[in-house]
Amino acid sequence: MRQTVRPAHSLRGVIVPPGDKSISHRAAILNAIAAGEAVIENFQRGADCLSTLRCLRRLGVQWEWQDASRLRLTGAGRHGLREPAAVLNCGNSGTTIRLLCGLLAAQPFFSVLTGDASLRSRPMARLIEPLREMGARIWGREDGTRAPLAIQGGALHCIHYRLPVASAQVKSALVLAGLYAEGGTVVQEPAPARDHTERMLRAMGAQVAYGEGPNVAVSPLTQEMSALSLRVPGDISAAAPFIVLGAVHPDAEIRISGVGINPTRTGILDALRMMGADVSVEEERTWGAEPVADIVVRSSQLRGAAIGGELVPRAIDELPLLALAGCFAEGETIIRDASELRVKESDRIQTTASTLRRMGAEVEERPDGLRLCGPQRLRGKALSSHGDHRLAMMAAVAGALAQGETVIHNSNVVAVSYPWFWRDLEALGKG
């Protein structure tokens, strides 16, 4: 499929983004090992979270849709997962494969995890090495560094481990393994990555300490966790294309309602404010263990900024959009400390630079990020999504801000995290 994007004269309207992808995965996986029934509202029905649900069904977990986004899931209990009769296909989803790998390393059966070509090329050693230190038996291609992964689950012992990279997926995998290990597991993060797993586990009754200092400490489960019904906040990563679009467009006022504003995820707001954007957070409330608000963004004059350090894990999936914002900002924008972008669904340093360059921007690609000077003019072009949902959405926003028409090929990849993205983008231009 391909999608054509043209610049709109003005952008007005309200966006309701899909449920948070990270929280939806966790709501399914954690409730799968709890006792009782959970009703999860606003569950994200993108391809990645559906991969998680399909894997869970193969592990013997029962779930059903009660309506388009309300999921009822019956927990199997902490020892209730069953050996899957077939390979578990995680599709494009890094969160599915990594969290399940940690969980399955501790289950007394054999399982195999695989995914699409992108996922099979992504690094798994970061996860397998500490899990092996806990006693896990895991094998993978290329000397245990790539999926498919074969796991012979069994008894684990605790670990005190310092993560070499800030990764919520690896942290969560080790925490899940730690729930079944002998002794207390401690994971130290170089910088805070999203803490949805920790929040949800605590709300379900597990013993997890986090939030003070760089350590997450988890004790093994001594009793069943209670099922947790919740309403999933809107995904700030799905809101981000519209936040950047509204800030850069000369005539825009966009409200994005019901967005999760967990501080480990709001780097996009901090970075844009640093760049001078008019973004406000209104009607703050709490859904389950997570803070939620409406985000209102208006046309702004942006200036360049240096984005690095602790901001990077808090804005990891939004960095391509911040590079795009930099094209329209006065002065220099530098994104650094972000070499993790090279091992996402695509090499996002390279795919961001090539997308912006194709549209006429001058962008310097660096080993750990990007540098560009603005303001620059973008011209509409035929673009590839690079098979990466975040890149497709960044290209769409670039197209809406460029001169002329932009065509995005393989545009349906947005369904990985935001199935109705094209409809929402179009509606804004008519608002």
319 near ligand S3P, rule: CB under 6 A: no
Which is it for the CA torsion 410, 414, 420, 423, positive or negative? negative
What is the 3 state secondary structure string of 196-235? HHHHHHHHCCCCEECCCCCEEEECCCCCCCECCCEECCEC
Shortest Å distance, C-beta 120 to ligand S3P: 16
Report d(CA 317, CA 344) in Å as an integer.
9
Shortest Å distance, C-beta 177 to ligand S3P: 15
DSSP letter at 24 equals H
Closest by CA to 263, choosing from 232, 228, 296, 236, is: 236
Which is it for the CA torsion 266, 269, 275, 276, positive or negative? negative
Binding track over 331-360 against ligand S3P, x by CB under 6 A? ---------x--------------------
Shortest Å distance, C-beta 172 to ligand S3P: 6
Shortest Å distance, C-beta 368 to ligand S3P: 14
- Find tokens 């397998």 and name the residue: 128
Nearer to ligand S3P, 174 or 279 (CB): 174
Shortest Å distance, C-beta 25 to ligand S3P: 6
Report how far Cα 105 is from the mean position of its chain's Cα atoms. Answer: 23
Report d(CA 406, CA 401) in Å as an integer.
10
Indicate which residue of 195, 317, 388, 424 is catalytic: 317
194 near ligand S3P, rule: CB under 6 A: yes
290 near ligand S3P, rule: CB under 6 A: no
316 near ligand S3P, rule: CB under 6 A: yes
Shortest Å distance, C-beta 49 to ligand S3P: 10
Q: In sequence order, what DSSP letters do the residues of 297-361 get, joined into one string?
A: EE----B--EE-TTHHHHTGGGHHHHHHHHHTSBEEEEE-S-GGGGGSSS-HHHHHHHHHHHTT-
The answer to whether 165 touches 126, Cβ cutoff 8 Å, is: yes
Shortest Å distance, C-beta 55 to ligand S3P: 15
44 near ligand S3P, rule: CB under 6 A: no
Closest by CA to 428, choosing from 251, 237, 259, 235, is: 251
Binding track over 144-183 against ligand S3P, x by CB under 6 A? -----------------------xxx--x-----------
List residues bridging with 188 in a β-sheet.
162, 215
List residues bridging with 248 in a β-sheet.
none
Query: Residue 43 carries which side chain, given as an amino acid letter?
Result: F
- Find tokens 């939030």 and name the residue: 211
- Give me the residue whose beta carbon is nearest to ligand S3P: 22
Please report, as residue ranges, which positions from 78 to 107 form the binding site for ligand S3P (by CB under 6 A): 94-95
Nearer to ligand S3P, 81 or 238 (CB): 238
22 near ligand S3P, rule: CB under 6 A: yes
The answer to whether 181 touches 160, Cβ cutoff 8 Å, is: no
Nearer to ligand S3P, 340 or 424 (CB): 340
Nearer to ligand S3P, 22 or 107 (CB): 22
317 a catalytic residue: yes
- Find tokens 């709490």 and name the residue: 286
317 near ligand S3P, rule: CB under 6 A: yes
Nearer to ligand S3P, 168 or 256 (CB): 168
Active site residues: 317
- Interface residues with ligand S3P (CB under 6 A) are 22, 25, 94-95, 167-169, 172, 193-194, 316-317, 340
